[in-house]
Chain A
Amino acid sequence: MAEWINDFRVKFINNFITDNRWKYLLNGLGITLEVTFFSALIGIFIGFIIAIIRSTHDKTGKMKLPDALCKLYVTVIRGTPVVVQLLIIYFVVFASVNVNKVIAAIIAFGINSGAYVAEIVRSGIMSIDTGQMEAGRSLGLNFFQTMYYIILPQAFKNVLPALANEFIVLLKETSISGYIALQDLAKGGDIIRGRTYDAFMPLIAVALIYLFMVVLLSKGVEIMERRLRSSDR
């Protein structure tokens, strides 16, 4: 037992302390959080706009062309792997410009997430009784005011668990950023593995950090859900 502990200690020092290797993880974590946060923002922005366009079309038959474009976007994004999208954004779209890798990743993951958020939010909007729109309009509110003050808050509450799930997936999906040589958390762990020829320590550490973040995120959503449910008693 004592031998095992000693062995663990030596490996730990070798993997994380020597040459300040822990910095790969810390800096990587920063990149991961940065990419996740901003691509989530882009995803929410794109997602809500597309969801509103598509559900308006579903309910009223208006906005045929925008709806068709949105459908195409959702189909293409959901129909291709996110790794390929990331590579295309970095090596094809930004081929001739020298763009920051972090920005390329944010754009790629944001565009990707937007398609999933769109479908989640759309299902939320469709789950709200048409009567709510009628009630809002009959009070003189215009379409967008009714959407903003009446439909979206209720839809958001209904889809919050699904949205949280999407952002958990997004957080973990950013671990493929290494494909464009962006040193995120996963890449950081992999770099250490390359230096020390020890796979166990760095990879388990990386896994635990992801797990910790996901648990934290879930907890936050849980609290938010409870607060939003105050009108359900």
Chain B
Amino acid sequence: MIGEVLIKVENLSKSFGSIKALDGVDAEIRKGDVAVIIGPSGSGKSTFLRCLNLLEVPTGGKIFFEGTDITDPRVDINKHRQKMGMVFQQFKLFPHMTVLDNMILSPIKVLKQPREQAVRKAVELLERVGLADRMNAYPSQLSGGQKQRIAIVRALCMEPDVMLFDEPTSALDPEMVGEVLDVMRKLAGSGMTMVVVTHEMGFAREVGTRIIFMDEGKIVEEKSPSELFSNPSSDRLKAFLAKVL
């Protein structure tokens, strides 16, 4: 299932003032990958993810997405963001729009789809996550788990080539984590390329095709889940796993 290189990151660095959030990161995401990034807080995992679609502008290094260096200022980043779905910890639905309007806004405005086509696609996706009956609800009328499922299908409406997840379950009540992970599991099963920053070690082990362990702005280890969890080589990973498992 794992195919060609979709995202290639070269010597990526990002500083906030004197703080180095990312310090020379190299990575490759291939088609069909479910790359799970783990690491202690402040290790740079979220910054890394946010750099991938340039929500954070890197201080140095290059990011190639489908062969184009998107850190080049001449590149139209909006074009590439269309193909990179992003799901945030805080859902970030648009509170003044219904669920359906949240979903069809960018297919209509960016992809110039006719409204009927966008609606059809949105309804189909809503059915897949069991929320078709909430189509006309406003975000404030939904539970956290529902909001996050909507956020995921909102991103899927753009038919992205890769989905980026930034701690998608960290802001949820414990009983709602399962429903969101379920959606993500199905998505991975359908062959979607995913990059996931999470603290859910069970999910990482079960769904991940690769685990990337980051600490202090660097990738410390990168292995298959079975290898990484059963046979961590660095002391830092051992210490981290001892704390979270």
A: residues with CB less than 8 A from B are 129, 131-132, 134-142, 145, 149-150, 153-154, 157, 230-233
Q: Is B75 part of the binding interface, using a Cβ–Cβ cutoff of 8 Å? A: no
**B90–A140 touching, CB < 8 Å:** no
B101 closest partner in A (C-beta)? A149
**B140–A140 touching, CB < 8 Å:** no
Give me 8 other A-B pairs in contact (C-beta within 8 A), A154-B94, A154-B96 excluded: A135-B94, A136-B94, A138-B81, A140-B79, A141-B78, A231-B98, A231-B138, A233-B141
Choose from A131, A141, A154, A233 the contact partner of B90 (Cβ within 8 Å): A131
Choose from B92, B140, B155 the contact partner of A131 (Cβ within 8 Å): B92
Q: Is B130 part of the binding interface, using a Cβ–Cβ cutoff of 8 Å? A: no
Q: Which listed segment binds A: B32-40, B103-111, B227-235? A: B103-111
The residue in B78, B96, B98, B158 that gathers the most chain A C-beta atoms within 10 A of its C-beta is B96
Give, as a whole number of angstroms, the nearest-CB distance from B231 to chain A. Answer: 36
A137 closest partner in B (C-beta)? B81
Q: Is B86 part of the binding interface, using a Cβ–Cβ cutoff of 8 Å? A: yes
Pull 16 A–B residue pairs with CB atoms less than 8 Å apart, ordered by A: A129-B92, A135-B93, A137-B81, A138-B85, A138-B155, A139-B82, A140-B78, A140-B110, A140-B158, A141-B110, A145-B110, A154-B94, A154-B96, A231-B97, A231-B138, A232-B140
A149 closest partner in B (C-beta)? B105
Instruction: Give how many A-B residue pairs fall within 8 Å (CB-CB).
Output: 71
B89 closest partner in A (C-beta)? A131
Give, as a whole number of angstroms, the nearest-CB distance from B133 to chain A. Answer: 17
Q: Is B84 part of the binding interface, using a Cβ–Cβ cutoff of 8 Å? A: yes
**B158–A231 touching, CB < 8 Å:** no
Q: When chains A and B are docked, how far (Å) is the Cα of A129 from the Cα of B139?
A: 15
Give, as a whole number of angstroms, the nearest-CB distance from B61 to chain A. Answer: 21
Residues of B within 8 A of A231 (CB): 95-98, 138-140
Q: When chains A and B are docked, how far (Å) is the Cα of A141 from the Cα of B111?
A: 10
Residues of B within 8 A of A154 (CB): 94-96
* B108-148 with Cβ < 8 A to chain A: 109-111, 138-141
Q: When chains A and B are docked, how far (Å) is the Cα of A135 from the Cα of B50?
A: 12
A134 closest partner in B (C-beta)? B55
Given contacts A139-B110, A231-B96, contact A134 B88 (CB under 8 A): yes
A154 closest partner in B (C-beta)? B96
Q: Is B154 part of the binding interface, using a Cβ–Cβ cutoff of 8 Å? A: yes
Residues of A within 8 A of B140 (CB): 231-233
A131 closest partner in B (C-beta)? B92
Residues of B within 8 A of A157 (CB): 96
Q: Is B71 part of the binding interface, using a Cβ–Cβ cutoff of 8 Å? A: no
Give, as a whole number of angstroms, the nearest-CB distance from A59 to chain B. Answer: 13
Choose from A135, A136, A140, A153 the contact partner of B96 (Cβ within 8 Å): A153
**A139–B105 touching, CB < 8 Å:** yes
Residues of B within 8 A of A135 (CB): 86, 88, 92-94
Choose from B53, B90, B93, B94 the contact partner of A138 (Cβ within 8 Å): B53
